[in-house]
């Protein structure tokens, strides 16, 4: 016990004397949590539209007004030549071209039918897709409005019709930040835990201090515990800072109990730290350790369900996420924060992550050799 205490004392001293680590611990959560959720937003707004109006009628003007009044579209240009509009797209000044042909109004009035042409810049697939959908729904609306002008609707629909209304549970306003912030918090805790622990033992190897440690009677598990506990504490500190920031900036208050989140985080950190320690037992320099943990983090984050839904991944990727501790914590965070899940609801997540922790740490202790 005395040995462990002096190891921890030493480790904390070193951490507090290292301004880079301290800065990282306080700056990283602040910057990532304040900036990222604002920027990483899937809602597509400000789609630039170029309108080719060859009709110049009151209907075409009505339609254009309706489009530019919506918060999704900015009218980038208004011409009567399709080529001019296409040039706007080529110069990236417009994302969507809407062509209103000549006789648009006349055709509607006379033949009850008219055509519109829509061209989408598909370089950004998401934007093109969503822009098309939004534009279609605006045109639909417009269509209904002018139909009302011309046709006297019967009191009841002539054909039976099903009308669907929906309600968004757990995130009624579909606030994207409620979805992102808990996920980013997980990434933060993961990065701090795994990077710092991976770099730590390797640093002792690189500086040569491990040589002096290895000739002492210190036990392997004491040494590994001495490395693990400080970063465990730091991970919890980062989580706390993150939760406070989420509350202050986004008003996110977990629906479920804080205790559930912290309990899961404590178990989860064990597995992440185990991974970091394992990496550091296999590498010889900080550079190697950094590159390997960075590589793993990229995969864990991209396949962790933070940005893209796991359910829409191909089957092999879904199988992979089962071995990705990050995906469990992201899911648990969202469950507890948005849905108010209890410990009972996340029991399987907890068990699996605990198993990861035991497995990775045992491997790290076995692989850390005091002699070669």
Residues found near another protein in the complex (CB under 8 A):
2-3, 6, 10, 13-14, 17-18, 207-218, 370-372
Q: Indicate the residue among 71 and 371 with the shorter CB distance to another protein.
A: 371
Report how far residue 203's alpha carbon sits from residue 196's, in angstroms, rounded to the nearest whole number: 10
Minimum CB–partner distance for residue 286 and another protein (Å): 15
Find the shortest distance in angstroms from Cβ 18 to another protein: 7
Strand partners, 118: 98
Specify the length of the chain in residues: 372
Alpha carbons within 13 angstroms on the beta-carbon side of residue 262 total 10
Query: Cβ contacts of residue 174 below 8 Å, gap of 6+?
Result: 168
Residue spans of alpha helices (H) in 101-253: 104-111, 125-150, 176-207, 209-214, 220-250
Query: What's the closest the beta carbon of residue 14 comes to another protein, in angstroms?
Result: 5
For the bound state, the minimum distance from the C-beta of residue 1 to another protein, rounded and expressed in Å, comes to 11
DSSP code of residue 313: S
Q: Can you state the angle between helices 220-250 and 176-207, rounded to 10 degrees?
A: 150
The smaller minimum CB distance to another protein, of residues 207 and 244, is found at: 207
Q: What phi and psi, each to the nearest 5 degrees, are found at residue 63?
A: -65, -45
Supply the minimum distance, in Å, between the C-beta of residue 246 and another protein: 34
Which residue, 45 or 219, has its beta carbon nearer to another protein? 219
Q: Which is nearer to another protein, 109 or 225 (CB)?
A: 225
With CA atoms as reference, report the closest residue to 333 among 276, 262, 237. Answer: 262
For another protein, give the closer residue by CB, 8 or 118.
8
Nearer of residues 167 and 215 to another protein, judged by Cβ: 215
d(CA 203, CA 200): 5
Q: Which is nearer to another protein, 210 or 343 (CB)?
A: 210
CB–CB of 48/96 below 8 Å? yes
Handedness of CA 345, 350, 351, 353 (dihedral sign): positive
| CB-CB neighbours of 66 under 10 Å | 15
Of 350, 367, 184, nearest to 270 by C-alpha is 350
- Report, in Å, the least distance between residue 285 CB and another protein: 15
Closest to another protein by CB, 7 or 185:
7
Whose tokens are 């040995």? That residue is 3
**Smallest separation, CB 9 to another protein (Å):** 8
Nearest distance in Å: CB 46, another protein: 50
Sheet strands side by side (includes 47-53) = 73-79, 47-53, 96-100, 117-120
């Amino acid at each position: 016990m005395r040995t462990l205490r002096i190891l921890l004392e030493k480790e904390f001293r070193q951490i507090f004397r290292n301004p880079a680590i301290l800065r990282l611990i306080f700056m990283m959560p602040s910057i990532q949590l304040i900036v990222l959720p604002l920027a990483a937003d899937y809602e597509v707004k400000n789609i630039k539209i170029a309108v080719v109006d060859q009709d110049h009628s009151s209907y075409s003007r009505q339609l254009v007004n309706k489009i530019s009044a919506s918060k999704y579209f900015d009218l980038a240009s208004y011409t009567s030549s399709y080529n001019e509009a296409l040039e706007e797209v080529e110069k990236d000044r417009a994302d969507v071209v809407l062509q209103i042909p000549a006789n648009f109004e006349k055709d509607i009035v006379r033949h009850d039918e008219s055509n519109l042409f829509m061209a989408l810049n598909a370089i950004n697939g998401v934007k093109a897709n969503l822009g098309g959908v939004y534009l279609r729904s605006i045109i639909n609306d417009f269509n209904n409005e002018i139909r009302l002008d011309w046709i006297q609707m019967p009191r009841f629909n002539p054909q039976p019709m099903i009308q669907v209304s929906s309600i968004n549970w757990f995130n009624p306003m579909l606030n994207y930040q409620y979805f992102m912030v808990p996920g980013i918090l997980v990434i933060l805790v993961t990065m701090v835990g795994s990077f710092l622990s991976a770099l730590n033992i390797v640093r002792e190897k690189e500086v040569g201090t491990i040589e002096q440690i290895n000739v002492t009677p210190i036990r392997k598990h004491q040494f590994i515990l001495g490395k693990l506990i400080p970063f465990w504490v730091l991970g919890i500190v980062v989580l706390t800072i993150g939760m406070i920031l989420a509350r202050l900036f986004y008003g996110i208050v977990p629906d479920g109990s804080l205790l559930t989140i912290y309990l899961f985080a404590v178990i989860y950190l064990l597995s992440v730290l185990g991974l970091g320690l394992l990496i550091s037992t296999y590498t010889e320099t900080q550079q190697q350790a950094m590159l390997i943990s960075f590589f793993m983090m990229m995969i864990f984050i991209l396949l962790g369900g933070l940005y893209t839904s796991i359910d829409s991944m191909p089957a092999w990727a879904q199988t992979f996420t089962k071995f990705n501790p990050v995906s469990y914590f992201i899911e648990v965070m969202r469950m507890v924060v948005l849905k108010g899940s209890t410990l009972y609801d996340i029991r399987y997540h907890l068990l699996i992550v605990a198993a990861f922790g035991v497995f990775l740490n045992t491997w790290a202790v076995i692989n850390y050799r005091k002699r070669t």
